[in-house]
């Protein structure tokens, strides 16, 4: 019997009566006038196999001691919830996954999800395909974007310039600096580095003049070439701003700078650099395109 056939079952409750008629016997109810349902072929229904009780996820683990140790640390640190242990089915990996998901929800996960496509990974190595693990007892919490969000800065810069000539450059630099502390932002500086690299590549070609590269200098708005104010200078200037839209923008920027500097970035060690030696730069999380063209 084939595998498909073995997975099928047939339902037939009246087959016994039909077999009796085939042998020339009458049913016990009456032997002279059999009922119509006994003269008809029995109904046979095909029932497909059900996956209702089959686990939808399979996981192989040679040793859960490291996961259990981490779970214990998170419980003692009041990060993990004891109640999630039962929800996880007493599975250490699922327990840590529930902990991370809840931690993300409690720290702005819903707002982030509306604007960015980010993956959060807890791993003992920085690169999935690498066989080299980090130092013993080290785990990495990695935020990796699947795509980049973008912000068109032209309307903002034009509005800020009406208040103070140095405010657009100040706003742009502090915005990029605060975000770059935690995620990669692609701006004019990144675009200029990319163009310089392309020029070096083209110089080795037979006809390098046939290649065109973007004019980053010409695409950069003049207001961004002004000297930015310090954070202290921005705070002092914010006290004199009367435009409500500009007030909201500057207030939001100051809050972003404050939040960005509250935590200390993990140190990028030589061991981490070796693991990422053969990797490309991380995908930008945010693009700040040029108002006049493409940087």
d(CA 278, CA 85): 39
**Per-residue pLDDT for 9 more than 50?**
no
Helix residue spans in the chain (DSSP H): 3-6, 15-22, 36-39, 65-76, 84-87, 92-106, 109-115, 154-161, 167-180, 188-203, 216-219, 231-238, 244-262, 270-275
pTM of the model: 0.65
> In this predicted model, what pLDDT tens digit does every residue of 202-213 receive, in sequence order?
887 878 778 888
Which tokens belong to 62? 């040679």
> In this predicted model, what pLDDT tens digit does every residue of 143-189 receive, in sequence order?
888 888 888 888 999 999 999 999 999 999 999 999 999 888 998 88
Which tokens belong to 245? 């839209």
> In this predicted model, what pLDDT tens digit does every residue of 243-266 receive, in sequence order?
999 999 999 999 999 999 998 888
d(CA 222, CA 172): 13
CA proximity to 107, closest of 79, 88, 82: 79
Q: Are strands 140-145 and 149-150 parallel, antiparallel or unpaired?
A: unpaired
């Amino acid at each position: 019997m084939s595998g498909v056939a073995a997975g099928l079952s047939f339902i037939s409750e009246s087959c016994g009566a039909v077999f009796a008629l085939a042998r020339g016997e009458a049913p016990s109810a009456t032997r002279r006038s059999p009922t119509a349902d006994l003269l008809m072929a029995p109904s046979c229904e095909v029932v497909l196999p059900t996956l209702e009780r089959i686990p939808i996820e399979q996981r192989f683990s040679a040793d859960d001691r490291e996961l259990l140790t981490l779970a214990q640390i998170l419980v003692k640190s009041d990060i993990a919830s004891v109640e999630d242990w039962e929800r996880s089915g007493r599975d250490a990996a699922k327990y840590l996954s529930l902990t991370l998901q809840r931690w993300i929800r409690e720290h702005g996960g819903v707002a982030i999800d509306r604007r960015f496509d980010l993956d959060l990974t807890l791993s003992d190595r920085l690169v999935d395909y690498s066989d080299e693990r980090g130092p013993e007892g080290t785990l990495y919490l990695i935020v990796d974007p699947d795509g980049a969000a973008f912000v068109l800065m032209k309307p903002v810069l034009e509005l800020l310039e009406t208040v103070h000539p140095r405010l657009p450059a100040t706003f742009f630099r502090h915005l990029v600096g605060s975000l770059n502390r935690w995620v990669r932002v692609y701006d004019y500086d990144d675009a200029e580095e990319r163009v310089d690299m392309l020029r070096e590549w083209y110089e080795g070609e037979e006809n390098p003049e046939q290649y065109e590269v973007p004019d980053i200098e010409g695409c950069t708005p003049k207001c961004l070439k002004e000297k930015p104010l310090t954070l202290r200078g921005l705070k002092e200037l914010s006290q004199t701003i009367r435009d409500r839209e500009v007030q909201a923008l500057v207030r939001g920027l100051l809050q972003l700078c404050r939040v960005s500097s509250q935590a200390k970035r993990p140190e990028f060690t030589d061991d981490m650099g070796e693991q990422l030696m053969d990797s490309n730069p991380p995908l930008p999380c945010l693009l700040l395109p040029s108002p006049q063209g493409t940087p």
